[in-house]
């Protein structure tokens, strides 16, 4: 239902944008460059959402490949049995299907959740997390990741990326057409796009892409606070705080770029770089948990 609602909303926004841009005379301007506004918006939607949903569809496969996740299909140790039973209990509390549970080799404490559907997800923890955190803290981390799944964060972020990718694709080409027309004036109208269109579109796509990425990262940071709150409820608040404090004491976790947004923690940054972080500072997350009613 969430996917259908957001897709319907995006379709309505694109339809409104098409009508508005035609009224403003953008349609005829694009036509002079051999482009059709309606086709551009439709193609932009296919490209924008196609790439985002493809990434979501392969997210579990990608996680297993890049992180070397070993799934616990049949627990071999007491620790593995505890992990599976804890995730099973938390998934039931959260109202989702039982995720796959796995462990990946990494000296740093970390964990992630991914998957295209709430009832077909993957939750994995690092060996470093199991070695360096108390069991109640591990339980809180598992609750954090289960909350990501229950909140539908992976799907929501994918839809947000699809919407933004569509607008980047369309508006970069509109900007390119505007620049091309300004450079050519009344000369050579109707002869197809000129060099101004290609350069303008290329530069606009880079700039708009950076702005879109900042929005996606802002959402990613906000969802971490919600997942922390969920982890506190599925385990307990002090254990969630203890887990985040343990991450503060650990060295900066190293995860492949493809998986950075899915981990429980990420590297630090300041200034402009902080706007492109997938996670908020740990001290801010701890403060938010302590302020919970």
| pLDDT > 60? residue 187 | no
- pLDDT tens-digit series, residues 126-153: 999 999 999 999 999 999 999 999 998 8
pTM exceeds 0.95: no
Residue 287 is predicted with a pLDDT of 95
The residue assigned the tokens 């969430």 is: 2
Find out whether 37 and 26 touch, Cβ atoms under 8 Å: yes
Residue 102's H or E segment, with its range, is strand 100-104
Q: Beginning with the edge strand found earlier in the chain, give each strand of the sheet holding 111-117 in spatial order.
A: 70-71, 100-104, 120-126, 111-117
Q: Are strands 70-71 and 120-126 parallel, antiparallel or unpaired?
A: unpaired
| pLDDT > 60? residue 262 | no
The catalytic residues are 145
pLDDT interval class at 293 (50, 70, 90): confident
| pLDDT > 80? residue 157 | yes
What is the pLDDT averaged over residues 69-96?
95
**Choice among 161-175, 237-251, 270-284 with the minimum mean pLDDT:** 270-284
Q: Which residues contact 287 (CB under 8 A, 6 or more apart)?
A: none
Give the SS3 label for residue 71. strand
């Amino acid at each position: 239902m969430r996917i259908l609602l957001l897709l319907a909303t995006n379709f309505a926004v694109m339809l409104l944008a098409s009508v508005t841009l035609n009224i403003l005379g953008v349609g005829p301007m694009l036509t002079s460059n051999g482009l059709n506004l309606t086709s551009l918006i439709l193609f932009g939607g296919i490209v924008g959402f196609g790439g985002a949903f493809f990434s979501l569809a392969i997210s579990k496969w990608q996680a297993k490949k890049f992180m070397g996740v070993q799934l616990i299909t049949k627990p071999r140790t007491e620790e593995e049995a505890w992990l599976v039973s804890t995730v099973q209990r938390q998934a039931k509390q959260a109202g989702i299907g039982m995720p796959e549970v796995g462990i990946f080799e990494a000296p740093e404490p970390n964990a992630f959740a991914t998957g295209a559907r709430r009832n077909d997800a993957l939750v994995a923890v690092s060996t470093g997390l199991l070695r360096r955190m108390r069991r109640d803290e591990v339980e809180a981390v598992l609750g954090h990741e289960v909350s990501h799944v229950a909140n539908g964060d992976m799907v929501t972020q994918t839809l947000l990326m699809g919407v933004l990718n569509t607008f980047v694709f369309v508006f970069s080409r509109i900007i390119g057409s505007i620049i091309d027309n300004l450079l050519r004036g009344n000369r050579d109208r109707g002869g197809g796009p000129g060099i101004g269109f290609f350069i303008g579109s290329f530069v606009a796509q880079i700039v708009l892409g950076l702005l879109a990425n900042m929005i996606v990262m802002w959402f990613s940071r906000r969802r971490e606070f919600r997942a922390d709150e969920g982890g506190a409820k599925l385990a307990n608040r002090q254990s969630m705080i203890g887990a985040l404090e343990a991450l503060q004491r650990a060295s900066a976790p190293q995860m492949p770029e493809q998986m950075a947004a899915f981990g429980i923690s990420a590297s630090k940054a300041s200034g402009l770089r902080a706007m492109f972080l997938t996670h908020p500072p740990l001290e801010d997350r701890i403060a938010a948990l302590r302020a919970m009613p």
